Amino acid sequence: MIQQAAVIGAGVMGHGIAQLYAQAGIPVFLYDLEENYLEKARKAIKANLILQVQRGVLTEVESERAVACITYTTDLEEAVRTADFVTEAIPEVIEWKWELYEKLESCMKPTAVIASNTSTIPVSRLAEKMSTPERMMITHFFNPAQLVPLVEVVRHERTEEKIVQTTMEVMRMIGKSPVLLKKEVPGFIANRLQAAVVREALHLLEEGVAEAKDIDLAVTEGPGFRWAFIGPIETADFGGLDTWKRVVDNLAPELSQSRQAPEFLNTLVDAGHLGAKSGQGIYEYEEISVSEKIKERDDKFIELLKVKQR
């Protein structure tokens, strides 16, 4: 099993992924281009660990051990030279990724795995310019990476079976619930399902069927409540496939068939109303800071995680 990990990119996803390796007792290098990015990551990880200690997910000793497992660096070769498993978590710009992979292949161990956290780029495209595509994987984490259990795993057609199995084992070792895709599809599994629900939610809002808060409530207090433990396919099994056949037959023609974002969403984005990060989106966030909102979200995620772990 792996003795050393590295995470390339210390942003929103990268620092959470590095924290997971550290919590599992795996020494990890966290790399980014500039020291100020690493300092932000260091503060975010500290805040995450404090919150988990306060909520009883980690002990003080476990938190201190995790901190000691992370080495921050702006030296790419130092970060990956001894790593057995390297996670790439840089922005979704294919040219940047190709450039990085070329550098990684020149300084990584020949047995090391390269795993991208991409949420949108096919693994065949990622490995297009690689000389060793057989060690390329996708491990798609979900934000916040340190809390959400799911990781979607996608293999390249030339990826060796032992690398696939190592990747699945590593994900389980750091406390994740990995799912292995049997074929490459845009958006993988979870984002396709999310996009379908969001498209219909935005359609209902655009049509004036209900207020945004009530549409959200209809999900969190209904399907979302069930989906935390049984997915949509098992829900259909429990409800009866004959019943769900009628539901789909009756509703499919009525659902949104839109092939692009609704116009009101384009208007909000053009006006700079981007949601919590800008202080206004479909909801307004003037009376609460984004950091407070994120802490509130993570508090609830931790409580749900504790329930699921029981």
What ranges make up the beta strands (E) of 14-107?
A: 28-31, 70-73, 85-88
Contact 173, 164 (CB under 8 A): no
DSSP bridge partners of 155:
137
Tell whether 43 is in a known binding site.
no
Helix (H) or strand (E) holding 292: helix 290-309
Region class of 11: left (phi > 0), else alpha (psi between -120 and 50), else beta: beta
Q: Are 140 and 118 in contact (CB under 8 A)?
A: yes
Please indicate if the annotation marks 119 as binding a ligand.
yes
Q: Is 9 known as a binding-site position? A: yes
Residue 249 assigned to a binding site: no
The residues that bridge with 154 in the sheet, in sequence order, are 138
Q: Compute the distance between CA of residue 223 and CA of residue 247 in angstroms, rounded to an integer.
A: 15
173 annotated as ligand-binding: no
Instruction: Tell me whether residue 213 is annotated as binding.
Output: no
Contact between 10 and 34 under an 8 Å Cβ cutoff? The reply is no
Residues pairing with 71 in the sheet: 29
Q: Tell whether 224 is in a known binding site.
A: no
Q: Is 32 annotated as a binding residue?
A: yes
Provide long-range contacts, Cβ within 8 A and 24+ apart, for 240-246.
none
Tokens of 166: 């190592």
Q: How many CA atoms lie within 13 A of 54 on its CB side?
A: 9
Q: Is residue 75 helix, strand or coil?
A: coil
293 is in an annotated binding site: no
Confirm whether residue 207 is marked as ligand binding.
no
- 295 known member of a binding site: no
Find out whether 277 is annotated in a ligand binding site: yes
Per the annotation, where are the binding residues for NAD(+)? 9-14, 32, 92, 97, 119, 143, 277
Per the annotation, where are the binding residues? 9-14, 32, 92, 97, 119, 143, 277
